[in-house]
Amino acid sequence: MKKWIALVIVGVMVVIVMSNMSYEQQTIIPALKDLLKDKPFEEWLSQFEIPYWGKIISVETRGYFQFLEFLIRKATHFFGYGLLAVTVYILYRKLKWRFAALLAFITTVLIASLDEYRQSTIPGRSGLVEDVVLDACGALTLLVLAKLILVVFKKVGRT
């Protein structure tokens, strides 16, 4: 159980550290420009337009590297909070808490909400409800997958 407590603490610490960084400290655009000089998938990515915070985000409106960074940042939100939710869920199961999945989801959404609020207080950052929704979707998706995997393994173990 100690390792799950440690993993939850590490997950929350990663959120805190990332929240304290300005956009300039977090940007991966220089690395993308170095790694993807030939702009692979530009034509394919150009067909997507994503409504976000009252704006349309696309290759056309932001540019190739900025759009790619946007996709990576949002995927990081989705999967990062999803993994945090699963880690919290496993900890709650080890503690034998009832409704561990629901409590893990609520805990994760609370952490995401506090994180976005914190970001709203940092110059150059914005705290967005849309990011909390994205984080919640990641948490829910990965929790459902974790539950399905547990059910399948229980059935396999019984046969």
Mean pLDDT by 10 residues, the chain (159 residues): 84 83 83 92 93 89 94 92 96 94 97 91 82 96 94 73
- Which DSSP helix (H) or strand (E) runs through 56? strand 55-58
pLDDT of residue 113: 95
pLDDT of residue 6: 86
Q: How far apart are CA 158 and CA 20, in angstroms?
A: 48
pLDDT of residue 68: 95
| 8 A C-beta contact, residue 94 and residue 4 | yes
SS3 of residue 37 by DSSP: coil
pLDDT of residue 157: 64
Q: How far apart are CA 61 and CA 58, in angstroms?
A: 5
pLDDT of residue 156: 66
Q: Which amino acid is at 38?
A: D
Distances in Å between the Cα of 75 and the Cα atoms of 71, 78, 100, 131, 156 are: 6, 5, 25, 11, 32
pLDDT of residue 8: 85
Distances in Å between the Cα of 26 and the Cα atoms of 17, 61, 135 are: 11, 21, 18
pTM: 0.87
pLDDT of residue 17: 82
Domain boundaries, given as residue ranges, for the chain: 2-158
